[in-house]
């Protein structure tokens, strides 16, 4: 397969590019480097620095590399940022995706794997959350992704474009060579690890009065290598003629923010001070995935599902990359 990966210089994209290459697929990356890192993509992979909304560029890439399939990771990813800058999120995560999909369709690309999110569900009515759960995003980020899911549904019947929208829960962990280096960083595990790295004095707990056992939010953490594996499987599923689907990717286990802090203390051997703060707008209390669909349809199951494995792998990467990707 000749696969275009948008956002391939980002956290999950770069790990997936590595997995696709290891699986023998031919990969091309398009990333504007607004949040990604050029050094996260191997030099021998064709790389285009540009915008997914640049339809001329997209058409050129598709035709010159005979692209047959796309994995679309590119996007802005911060819930709090989206609450403050909703239009920026709708423009980048929905508007530009419409331009990307138009360019792809005009070039005959008919298979799309899309990075969706658990944020499409909003505040859960029940947990674990299955794919049929009501969709009611509580922030612009989640809504910007849900719009794309609905656009893909309409394209399915109108343009014979099939898709797998993978709704990730919380991506975390690292491989030996690729890790999490978001700027600004908003994800919990790298923020916690900044304390033992000497870059942060304490970790903020945003909300300690949620209806959860210890009052902090509960999330389902999934190792980034397991996410990458699911993308390779989703591409093959579509290439084999599979029909369009929405599929959750999670471990089915939830950990509270306080539990993650305690695990990080164990893994790093460092006391991690916390500061209790007000809730942030748009944060649901509990997000835990029901991932039967991924097992049944993709034959996928997480291999690194323990919180200790996830936090340890992240810690190893941060220790070996104290300045993230900046040191090359």
Ligand X SMILES: NC(=O)c1ccc[n+]([C@@H]2O[C@H](COP(=O)([O-])OP(=O)(O)OC[C@H]3O[C@@H](n4cnc5c(N)ncnc54)[C@H](O)[C@@H]3O)[C@@H](O)[C@H]2O)c1
Question: Which amino acids are annotated catalytic?
Answer: 141
Part in contact with ligand X (CB under 6 A); list of ranges 154-162, 167-175, 270-278, 285-293? 167-175
Compute CA 281 distance to the chain's CA centroid, rounded to the nearest angstrom: 21
The 3-state DSSP class for residue 138 equals coil
Measure the CA–CA gap between 154 and 157, rounded to whole angstroms: 6
- Does 137 bind ligand X (CB under 6 A)? Our answer is no
Q: How far is the CB of 271 from ligand X (least distance, A)?
A: 26
* Cβ contact 252:291 at 8 Å: yes
Locus of tokens 């058409």: 59
Side by side, which strands form the sheet with 162-168? 47-49, 26-31, 2-6, 69-72, 111-117, 162-168, 245-249
> What residues between 105 and 124 interact with ligand X by CB under 6 A?
115, 117
Q: How far is the CB of 7 from ligand X (least distance, A)?
A: 3
Closer to ligand X by Cβ: residue 47 or 210: 47
Part in contact with ligand X (CB under 6 A); list of ranges 8-16, 58-66, 126-134, 252-260? 8-16
- Does 31 bind ligand X (CB under 6 A)? Our answer is yes
In angstroms and rounded to an integer, the radius of gyration of the C-alpha atoms of the chain is 19
According to DSSP, residue 92 is labeled I
Q: How far is the CB of 118 from ligand X (least distance, A)?
A: 7
Closer to ligand X by Cβ: residue 73 or 237: 73
- Does 131 bind ligand X (CB under 6 A)? Our answer is no
Measure the CA–CA gap between 224 and 221, rounded to whole angstroms: 9
With CB under 6 A as the contact rule, the residue among 82, 92, 162, 248 that binds ligand X is 92
- Does 307 bind ligand X (CB under 6 A)? Our answer is no
Residues touching ligand X, count (CB under 6 A): 28
> What residues between 33 and 52 interact with ligand X by CB under 6 A?
33-36, 51-52
HSE at residue 245, side-chain half, CA atoms within 13 A, is 18
Q: How far is the CB of 290 from ligand X (least distance, A)?
A: 16
Closer to ligand X by Cβ: residue 79 or 240: 79
- Does 254 bind ligand X (CB under 6 A)? Our answer is no
- 241 sits in the region (left: phi over 0; alpha: psi -120 to 50; else beta) called left
- Does 168 bind ligand X (CB under 6 A)? Our answer is yes
- Does 207 bind ligand X (CB under 6 A)? Our answer is no
- Does 3 bind ligand X (CB under 6 A)? Our answer is no
Measure the CA–CA gap between 87 and 199, rounded to whole angstroms: 32
With CB under 6 A as the contact rule, the residue among 17, 74, 174, 287 that binds ligand X is 74
The 3-state DSSP class for residue 167 equals strand
With CB under 6 A as the contact rule, the residue among 5, 75, 219, 310 that binds ligand X is 75
- Does 193 bind ligand X (CB under 6 A)? Our answer is no
Question: In the chain, helix, strand, coil percent, each to 5?
Answer: 40, 20, 40
With CB under 6 A as the contact rule, the residue among 4, 27, 32, 261 that binds ligand X is 32
DSSP characters over 215-253: SS-EE-EEEHHHHHHHHHHHHHHHHTTPPPEEEEE--S-
What is the dihedral sign for C-alpha 183, 188, 193, 199? positive
With CB under 6 A as the contact rule, the residue among 61, 62, 96, 290 that binds ligand X is 96
- Does 88 bind ligand X (CB under 6 A)? Our answer is no
Using CB under 6 A, list all residues that contact ligand X: 6-7, 9-13, 31-36, 51-52, 73-77, 92, 96, 115, 117, 168, 170-171, 182
């Amino acid at each position: 397969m000749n696969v275009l990966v948008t956002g391939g210089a980002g956290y999950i994209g770069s790990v997936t590019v590595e997995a696709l290459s290891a699986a023998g697929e031919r990969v091309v990356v398009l990333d504007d480097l607004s949040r990604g890192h050029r050094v996260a993509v191997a030099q021998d992979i064709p790389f285009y620095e540009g915008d997914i909304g640049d339809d001329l560029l997209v058409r050129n890439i598709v035709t010159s590399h005979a692209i047959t399939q796309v994995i679309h990771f590119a996007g802005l990813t911060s819930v709090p940022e989206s609450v403050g800058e909703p239009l920026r999120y709708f423009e980048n995560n929905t508007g530009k995706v419409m331009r990307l999909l138009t360019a792809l369709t005009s070039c005959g690309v008919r298979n799309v794997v899309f990075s969706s999110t658990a944020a499409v569900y909003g505040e859960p009515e029940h947990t674990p959350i299955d794919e049929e759960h009501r969709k009611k995003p509580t922030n612009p980020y989640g809504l910007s992704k849900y719009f794309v899911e609905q656009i893909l549904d309409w394209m399915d019947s109108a343009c014979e474009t099939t898709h797998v929208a993978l709704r990730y829960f919380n991506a975390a962990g690292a491989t030996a060579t690729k890790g999490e280096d978001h700027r600004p960083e908003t994800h919990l595990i790298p923020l916690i690890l900044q304390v033992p790295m000497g870059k942060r004095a304490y970790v903020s707990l945003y909300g300690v009065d949620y209806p959860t056992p210890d009052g902090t939010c509960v999330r389902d953490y999934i190792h980034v290598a397991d996410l990458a594996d699911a993308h390779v499987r989703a591409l093959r599923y579509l290439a084999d003629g599979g029909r369009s689907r929405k599929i959750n990717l999670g471990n089915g286990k939830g950990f509270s923010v306080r539990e993650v802090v305690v695990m990080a203390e164990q893994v790093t051997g460092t006391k991690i001070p916390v500061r209790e703060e007000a809730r942030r707008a748009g944060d649901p209390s509990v997000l835990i995935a029901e991932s039967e669909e991924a097992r049944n349809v993709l034959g996928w199951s997480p291999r690194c599902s323990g919180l200790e494995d996830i936090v340890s792998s992240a810690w190893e990467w941060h220790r070996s990359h104290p300045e993230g990707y900046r040191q090359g």
